[in-house]
Amino acid sequence: MVIVIQCRDEVGLIAGISRILAESKMNIISMLEHVDPSEPRFFVRVESDGPVDPATLRTRLLDFLPNGAELSIDPFPNKRIVVLVTKEHHCLSDILVRNHFKTLGAEVLAVIGNHANLRELSERFGIPYHTISHEGKTKEVFEAEILSQIDHYAPDFVVLAKFMRILSPSFVEKYPSRVINIHHSFLPAFVGADPYRQAYARGVKLIGATAHFVTNDLDDGPIITQQIIPVDHTYTAANMRKAGLEIETAVLARALNLAFEDRILVHGNKTVVFE
């Protein structure tokens, strides 16, 4: 069982949480905590096992914690995800392989694409693929069709594996802190479209990728993880893009693993990531 808490910091929080778990016959396997002194705010992730009923434990913890505490208790089920794609296969391929060999930490329920390019790839792995074209439709109609399909599966997370469409606020608010995107830039640099060409034009010496939660602000949601590699004057925009594909895949895979293991706490536009 994973217990994740964030709340106003006070003296005695660790002692009190530990006491409640001990009284509930719960064995603490690991406890990771962090305090942001600027607020101050307390964050903790606890792995434990024992016979307690999660609803009973939740009540006891909330009775102890400061008012307004955010608490989740996850009894270790595999997460369920729906993946949104456009035409690029590298991130989806990695997800499908991990899913096939049971190393993803989640179950891929379906893939939805606004083009049919990746249907064959998905179906080779036995994953349903739904083509929902954006052409000739308003944004509202297009997103309503996607949401209807997603809602059918009721996933824990929606993963944008190179889904090259900007989502509206009404879409995002249905899955707060549950839509994970991979952006091919070391944010906050080069937001929006074609960041490799932007990077090339700027003459950068480092390129990277960023996995983040999607919010209403383009490529400005809470960052989960990032990675960079060096480049030099010999790289064209195409060379940068080719080099960046492996970074994108690795960064998204790491972010998904963190999310599926309940290791990310979102507060405002920042994250606390327990690894």
The answer to whether residues 52 and 22 touch, using CB atoms and an 8 Å cutoff, is no
Closest residue by Cα to residue 130 from 82, 185, 198: 82
Which residues on adjacent β-strands are paired with residue 12?
none
Helix (H, G, I), strand (E, B) or coil at 147: helix
Q: How far is CA 164 from the centre of its chain?
A: 17
C-alpha to C-alpha distance for 2 and 10, rounded to whole angstroms: 22
Look up tokens 């990277």; give the residue. 208
Closest residue by Cα to residue 223 from 269, 161, 184: 269
Residue of 217, 219, 232, 262 marked catalytic: 219
Q: Catalytic annotation on 232? A: no
C-alpha to C-alpha distance for 221 and 181, rounded to whole angstroms: 9
Active site residues: 219
